[in-house]
Amino acid sequence: MKKKKGTKHAGMLGVGRAWLVSNEEEDPAYGLQSYLLLAHPPLDPGERRVHLALLSTFITGLQDVGELDSKFNKEELNVTWLPVVVGQDSLERAAKKRKPSAWADSGGTADLVSARVLAEVVLGHYDYARAMQLFALANQTGKDGPYVILLEHPLRVPIGEKDPCLVLSMNEFSEPEVKEVFLRYLEVSRDTKRWKPKNARSIFGPLTSGLGTIGAGVMKVGGALRFLNGPP
Protein backbone atom coordinates (compact mmCIF):
# COMPACT_ATOMS: atom_id res chain seq x y z
CA MET A 1 0.00 0.00 0.00
CA LYS A 2 1.35 3.40 -0.96
CA LYS A 3 1.72 5.72 1.99
CA LYS A 4 -0.05 9.06 1.95
CA LYS A 5 1.99 12.15 1.43
CA GLY A 6 1.72 15.04 3.82
CA THR A 7 3.49 17.89 5.54
CA LYS A 8 5.00 17.33 8.93
CA HIS A 9 2.58 18.44 11.66
CA ALA A 10 -0.22 19.03 9.13
CA GLY A 11 -3.85 18.53 10.06
CA MET A 12 -3.95 14.98 8.67
CA LEU A 13 -1.52 13.62 11.23
CA GLY A 14 -2.51 10.27 12.66
CA VAL A 15 -2.38 9.60 16.42
CA GLY A 16 -1.29 6.18 17.66
CA ARG A 17 -0.30 4.48 20.90
CA ALA A 18 2.83 2.53 21.84
CA TRP A 19 4.28 0.87 24.93
CA LEU A 20 7.53 2.37 26.21
CA VAL A 21 9.09 -0.70 27.81
CA SER A 22 11.87 -0.33 30.39
CA ASN A 23 15.36 -0.07 28.86
CA GLU A 24 13.89 0.59 25.40
CA GLU A 25 14.05 3.93 23.60
CA GLU A 26 11.47 5.83 21.60
CA ASP A 27 11.55 5.78 17.81
CA PRO A 28 12.68 9.31 16.88
CA ALA A 29 11.27 9.04 13.34
CA TYR A 30 7.73 9.96 14.46
CA GLY A 31 6.69 13.55 13.84
CA LEU A 32 5.40 14.19 17.35
CA GLN A 33 6.15 12.41 20.60
CA SER A 34 3.55 12.29 23.36
CA TYR A 35 3.84 10.75 26.82
CA LEU A 36 1.09 9.61 29.18
CA LEU A 37 2.72 9.92 32.58
CA LEU A 38 1.49 8.88 36.03
CA ALA A 39 3.32 10.39 38.99
CA HIS A 40 2.55 7.63 41.47
CA PRO A 41 0.19 4.72 42.11
CA PRO A 42 -3.36 5.89 42.86
CA LEU A 43 -3.73 7.11 46.42
CA ASP A 44 -7.47 6.53 46.81
CA PRO A 45 -10.38 4.81 44.99
CA GLY A 46 -11.34 8.00 43.14
CA GLU A 47 -7.84 8.50 41.79
CA ARG A 48 -7.69 4.83 40.82
CA ARG A 49 -10.89 5.20 38.79
CA VAL A 50 -9.44 8.20 36.95
CA HIS A 51 -6.18 6.35 36.22
CA LEU A 52 -8.07 3.29 34.93
CA ALA A 53 -10.36 5.45 32.78
CA LEU A 54 -7.33 7.14 31.25
CA LEU A 55 -5.53 3.84 30.60
CA SER A 56 -8.66 2.26 29.13
CA THR A 57 -9.00 5.22 26.78
CA PHE A 58 -5.36 4.88 25.78
CA ILE A 59 -6.05 1.23 24.88
CA THR A 60 -9.42 1.61 23.13
CA GLY A 61 -9.33 5.20 21.88
CA LEU A 62 -5.97 5.11 20.11
CA GLN A 63 -4.90 2.76 17.35
CA ASP A 64 -1.66 0.81 17.67
CA VAL A 65 0.92 3.04 15.97
CA GLY A 66 2.37 0.00 14.20
CA GLU A 67 -0.91 -0.35 12.32
CA LEU A 68 -0.71 3.29 11.22
CA ASP A 69 2.83 2.90 9.90
CA SER A 70 1.47 1.22 6.76
CA LYS A 71 -0.85 4.14 6.04
CA PHE A 72 1.29 7.15 6.86
CA ASN A 73 4.92 8.17 6.90
CA LYS A 74 6.23 8.17 10.45
CA GLU A 75 6.88 11.91 10.36
CA GLU A 76 3.12 12.36 9.89
CA LEU A 77 2.26 10.52 13.09
CA ASN A 78 1.94 11.55 16.71
CA VAL A 79 2.96 8.55 18.80
CA THR A 80 1.73 8.45 22.39
CA TRP A 81 4.04 6.49 24.70
CA LEU A 82 3.03 4.74 27.93
CA PRO A 83 5.92 3.64 30.19
CA VAL A 84 5.59 0.01 31.36
CA VAL A 85 7.99 -2.53 32.84
CA VAL A 86 6.97 -5.37 30.47
CA GLY A 87 5.82 -5.55 26.85
CA GLN A 88 2.35 -5.92 25.35
CA ASP A 89 2.47 -9.72 25.08
CA SER A 90 3.24 -10.07 28.78
CA LEU A 91 0.55 -7.56 29.69
CA GLU A 92 -2.09 -9.36 27.65
CA ARG A 93 -1.12 -12.76 29.07
CA ALA A 94 -1.49 -11.39 32.59
CA ALA A 95 -4.87 -9.86 31.73
CA LYS A 96 -6.17 -13.11 30.24
CA LYS A 97 -4.97 -15.03 33.29
CA ARG A 98 -6.62 -12.56 35.65
CA LYS A 99 -10.06 -12.77 34.02
CA PRO A 100 -10.28 -15.30 31.18
CA SER A 101 -14.02 -14.74 30.75
CA ALA A 102 -13.42 -11.13 29.76
CA TRP A 103 -11.37 -12.29 26.78
CA ALA A 104 -13.57 -15.16 25.62
CA ASP A 105 -15.17 -14.25 22.28
CA SER A 106 -14.12 -10.63 22.76
CA GLY A 107 -12.62 -8.18 20.33
CA GLY A 108 -9.26 -8.24 22.06
CA THR A 109 -7.92 -4.97 23.45
CA ALA A 110 -10.52 -3.03 21.44
CA ASP A 111 -13.27 -4.68 23.50
CA LEU A 112 -14.29 -2.45 26.42
CA VAL A 113 -14.47 -5.26 28.98
CA SER A 114 -11.11 -6.79 28.12
CA ALA A 115 -9.58 -3.32 27.84
CA ARG A 116 -10.66 -2.55 31.39
CA VAL A 117 -9.00 -5.73 32.63
CA LEU A 118 -5.87 -4.90 30.65
CA ALA A 119 -5.89 -1.38 32.09
CA GLU A 120 -5.84 -2.85 35.60
CA VAL A 121 -2.83 -4.99 34.66
CA VAL A 122 -1.08 -2.02 33.05
CA LEU A 123 -1.62 0.04 36.19
CA GLY A 124 0.12 -2.71 38.14
CA HIS A 125 3.02 -2.80 35.66
CA TYR A 126 3.39 0.91 35.07
CA ASP A 127 6.99 2.14 35.08
CA TYR A 128 6.83 4.95 37.65
CA ALA A 129 10.63 5.23 37.79
CA ARG A 130 10.79 5.93 34.04
CA ALA A 131 7.91 8.37 34.38
CA MET A 132 9.76 10.33 37.07
CA GLN A 133 12.82 10.52 34.82
CA LEU A 134 10.64 11.92 32.04
CA PHE A 135 9.01 14.39 34.43
CA ALA A 136 12.45 15.68 35.38
CA LEU A 137 13.54 16.04 31.75
CA ALA A 138 10.39 18.08 31.07
CA ASN A 139 10.99 20.24 34.15
CA GLN A 140 7.81 18.98 35.81
CA THR A 141 7.44 17.90 39.42
CA GLY A 142 4.83 15.24 38.67
CA LYS A 143 2.83 16.18 41.78
CA ASP A 144 -0.46 17.05 40.08
CA GLY A 145 -0.59 14.45 37.30
CA PRO A 146 -1.44 12.33 35.40
CA TYR A 147 0.18 14.35 32.64
CA VAL A 148 0.09 14.20 28.86
CA ILE A 149 3.24 15.84 27.48
CA LEU A 150 3.79 16.60 23.78
CA LEU A 151 7.10 17.41 22.08
CA GLU A 152 8.61 17.40 18.60
CA HIS A 153 11.34 14.96 19.60
CA PRO A 154 11.86 12.12 22.09
CA LEU A 155 12.26 13.22 25.69
CA ARG A 156 15.76 11.89 26.28
CA VAL A 157 17.55 15.05 27.43
CA PRO A 158 16.27 18.07 29.37
CA ILE A 159 14.12 20.26 27.16
CA GLY A 160 15.87 23.43 26.04
CA GLU A 161 14.62 26.99 26.18
CA LYS A 162 13.62 26.89 22.52
CA ASP A 163 12.03 23.43 22.54
CA PRO A 164 8.25 23.85 22.29
CA CYS A 165 6.41 21.61 24.72
CA LEU A 166 2.74 21.31 25.61
CA VAL A 167 1.65 19.87 28.95
CA LEU A 168 -1.83 18.94 30.16
CA SER A 169 -2.44 17.85 33.74
CA MET A 170 -5.36 15.41 33.86
CA ASN A 171 -5.71 15.99 37.60
CA GLU A 172 -8.26 18.73 36.91
CA PHE A 173 -10.78 16.37 35.34
CA SER A 174 -13.24 13.84 36.72
CA GLU A 175 -13.49 10.22 35.66
CA PRO A 176 -16.32 10.88 33.14
CA GLU A 177 -14.38 13.82 31.64
CA VAL A 178 -11.02 12.10 31.25
CA LYS A 179 -11.79 10.13 28.10
CA GLU A 180 -13.06 13.02 26.01
CA VAL A 181 -10.45 15.51 27.21
CA PHE A 182 -7.56 13.10 26.59
CA LEU A 183 -8.62 12.28 23.02
CA ARG A 184 -9.56 15.87 22.15
CA TYR A 185 -6.23 17.11 23.49
CA LEU A 186 -4.25 14.75 21.26
CA GLU A 187 -6.46 15.67 18.32
CA VAL A 188 -6.27 19.47 18.58
CA SER A 189 -2.57 19.42 19.49
CA ARG A 190 -1.53 17.68 16.27
CA ASP A 191 -0.78 21.05 14.69
CA THR A 192 2.16 22.64 16.51
CA LYS A 193 1.05 26.12 15.40
CA ARG A 194 -1.36 25.81 18.30
CA TRP A 195 1.49 25.28 20.77
CA LYS A 196 1.72 29.00 21.51
CA PRO A 197 -0.02 30.99 24.23
CA LYS A 198 -1.35 33.44 21.65
CA ASN A 199 -3.17 30.54 19.94
CA ALA A 200 -4.51 29.09 23.18
CA ARG A 201 -8.11 29.67 22.10
CA SER A 202 -7.77 27.04 19.36
CA ILE A 203 -7.06 24.44 22.09
CA PHE A 204 -9.26 25.83 24.84
CA GLY A 205 -12.44 25.70 22.72
CA PRO A 206 -12.47 21.96 21.97
CA LEU A 207 -11.24 21.02 25.45
CA THR A 208 -13.87 23.04 27.32
CA SER A 209 -16.75 21.47 25.41
CA GLY A 210 -18.80 19.25 27.71
CA LEU A 211 -17.16 20.50 30.92
CA GLY A 212 -20.25 22.24 32.33
CA THR A 213 -20.60 25.99 31.94
CA ILE A 214 -18.18 27.86 29.69
CA GLY A 215 -16.64 29.59 32.71
CA ALA A 216 -16.12 26.34 34.60
CA GLY A 217 -14.61 24.67 31.55
CA VAL A 218 -12.21 27.55 30.92
CA MET A 219 -11.10 27.50 34.56
CA LYS A 220 -10.44 23.75 34.45
CA VAL A 221 -8.50 23.84 31.19
CA GLY A 222 -6.73 27.05 32.14
CA GLY A 223 -5.45 25.42 35.31
CA ALA A 224 -4.40 22.23 33.51
CA LEU A 225 -2.76 23.42 30.27
CA ARG A 226 0.79 24.71 30.13
CA PHE A 227 2.81 26.06 27.23
CA LEU A 228 6.52 25.49 27.81
CA ASN A 229 9.26 27.26 25.86
CA GLY A 230 9.10 27.96 22.15
CA PRO A 231 7.74 31.19 20.59
CA PRO A 232 5.04 33.19 22.41
pLDDT in tens, 184-203: 888 888 777 777 777 767 77
93 CB-near residues (< 8 Å, 6+ apart): none
Q: What angle do CA 53, 58, 60 make, to 5 degrees?
A: 90
**pTM, entire model:** 0.85
Read off the pLDDT of residues 46-103 as tens digits, 9 standing for 90 and up. 999 999 999 999 999 999 999 999 888 999 899 999 999 999 999 988 988 887 765 5
Sheet holding 147-151, edge to edge: 63-64, 14-21, 77-84, 32-37, 147-151, 165-169, 225-228
**CA-based R_g, the chain, Å:** 17
Read off the pLDDT of residues 91-133 as tens digits, 9 standing for 90 and up. 988 988 887 765 555 555 546 567 888 999 999 999 999 999 9
Q: What residue segments make up the domains of the chain, in order of their start?
A: 14-85+126-228
Q: What angle do CA 9, 11, 15 make, to 5 degrees?
A: 75
Q: What is the pLDDT of residue 210?
A: 59
